[in-house]
Amino acid sequence: MSQKPPLSWTFRRIVWNSVSLLIFRFKKAKHIPLPPQYPRPLKLIPVSERIPGVQVDHVMMADRIPKGESSLIMRASFTFRIWLGQVLPPVVPGLPQIDADMDKAMRRACNRHYRALYPAPRRPEAFRVGGMPDLGEMAVASPYACFLEKDGEGNLVWDFRDLDDHEVHPGLRPLGSRVFFKVNKRARKLEATRIECVLGEFRAGEDRWDEAVRTAMCAASTQISLVNHFNGVHLACGGPLSVATRNHLYSDHALCRLMWPHMFGTQNSNYLVTKGQMLPMGDFETIFSFTHEGMCDLFSRSYKGYRASVMVPGLDWERRGLPVDQFDTPVQDNLSQLYEVMHAHTTRYINIYYDSDQALQRDETVQAWIAALNKMIPNGVDDVTGGEVTRESVARLCAGFIYMASVQHEALGSCMWNYQMWVDKNPVRIHTNGQRIPIDVFQRLLNANFNLNVDRAKLMQDFSYFAIDGAGASAFKQFDMELRALERELDGKAYAAWRITPKMLEANINA
């Protein structure tokens, strides 16, 4: 560390770290109750109307937290943190940068009190090399695999150029960038060949290539947390799913019982976390590169671009125009394995209650539910259903929702603990004067990621109490058995920071 921090920072750090540790220690998984008989309908309203101070007019959220989800303790906790952030901000200008030795910086921020509650961040293998990570590896074997796509000219790219459209804090590097990849067919891998960014255009091996890589990694880190995770999983998809299900599937409907464990708590989570992260001087504005106005603009633009096909790994791969069997795809393979267990579950379940497509099509409740989803989710769900209501299309859609609430929420959120914290390889902001991230920003980043790993209801449990009959109960039990079988299979593989296994997954996105 270049200079000793003031005593005021020591006090500030003790207070905020204590809050974070207390939340982690006392937050326990909540039992998921059965759906209420006659829930009061929810409405979607602009975030700016629901939470004054968050000037996002084109992103929608529920007009209230429904009865049964609201937690007095959680509301009080978030209200206290917001108040504390005003009187004792966790991030202030002018504090020293973190230690040049990343391991020392990590030990100071993630001290023994944190490690007693949760394992410290573990460096991915790709981060153990000298210099910056291999972007070719990042594109297929990291959470950032979701960004690989084929552009209009047939190039395999990461394209973050539109991040330049949003205002960043003075003194921070703009993030707009594009990475080009080629396929090494003999080695069955991708190689990054060229990067375009604010620094210029660079080819692999040229001077300042590592700085261009740093820019791309910062863009990926920002995009995954703000756009894919919070704006996508929480607001664009999870929130509307909860509203449509509560409003259109009566409590004893078979599909309501199928979906309920995976959407309960969503509105409570979305409201409280949006307040904590998106109000002025919240987590997003003080951790990442964008000003409050720039962040709000980013949310408004990216919300409109959400595509439901991201919930189905095979459809998502196809929509991104990616080739089949030209290079190894470890993350895609892992995600597909998880989705297939969920798809098998929803297929079995739906076939119990509908003996034909025609029987499903005659169910006006299902038709109304899908119509509401098409209206509420940006760009609808036709990418998943193909615009048809069949047993297969609805099973695919329901599996996608389970995958969204469990696998995507893990991959884009909690999994970042082992990536985003290593800011020497994966920065969340880059100072144009070359200084490292300040100690207060790093501590807030750690606390935010730490609290993403609090105890929540697990996916791998027996949900047969949601069943409306014995056949449904058997289907829920079979799902649990198949998740456990996949867990045993994946547990036998060598550790990889990107790999997700069923025991890591939560049932829903409740904070």
511: confidence class by pLDDT, cuts 50, 70, 90: low
Three-state DSSP class for residue 243: helix
> Quick one: how far is CA 511 from the chain centroid?
12
1: confidence class by pLDDT, cuts 50, 70, 90: very low
With a cut of 70, say whether residue 264 has pLDDT above it. Answer: yes
Name the class of domain 8-120+228-504. mainly alpha
Helices marked H in 5-152: 7-26, 47-50, 72-87, 102-109, 112-115, 135-138
Q: What is the mean pLDDT of residues 279-305?
A: 97
Distance, CA of 374 to CA of 243 (rounded, Å): 12
The DSSP element (H or E) to which 298 belongs, if any, is helix 292-304
* pLDDT of amino acid 87: 94
With beta carbons less than 8 A apart as the criterion, state whether 463 and 261 touch: yes
Instruction: Count, in order, helices (H) and strands (E) of the chain.
Output: 21, 7
Neighbours of 129 (CB within 10 A): 11
Ordered by start, the domain boundaries in the chain are: 8-120+228-504, 132-214
Dump pLDDT digits (tens) for 80-96. 999 999 999 999 999 99
End-to-end CA distance of the chain: 34
Neighbours of 18 (CB within 10 A): 11
* pLDDT of amino acid 2: 55
With beta carbons less than 8 A apart as the criterion, state whether 148 and 158 touch: yes
The DSSP element (H or E) to which 374 belongs, if any, is helix 364-376
With beta carbons less than 8 A apart as the criterion, state whether 510 and 265 touch: yes
- Provide the b/e sequence for 199-215 (b: ≥16 CB within 10 Å): eeebebeeeebebbbbb
Distance, CA of 196 to CA of 273 (rounded, Å): 34
Dump pLDDT digits (tens) for 388-409. 999 999 999 999 999 999 999 9
Distance, CA of 142 to CA of 126 (rounded, Å): 9
Distance, CA of 215 to CA of 176 (rounded, Å): 8
Dump pLDDT digits (tens) for 99-137. 999 999 999 999 999 999 999 999 999 999 889 999 999
With beta carbons less than 8 A apart as the criterion, state whether 284 and 223 touch: no
Pairing of strands 189-197, 178-184: antiparallel
Instruction: Report residue 115 as tokens.
Output: 């490690």
Distance, CA of 335 to CA of 499 (rounded, Å): 9
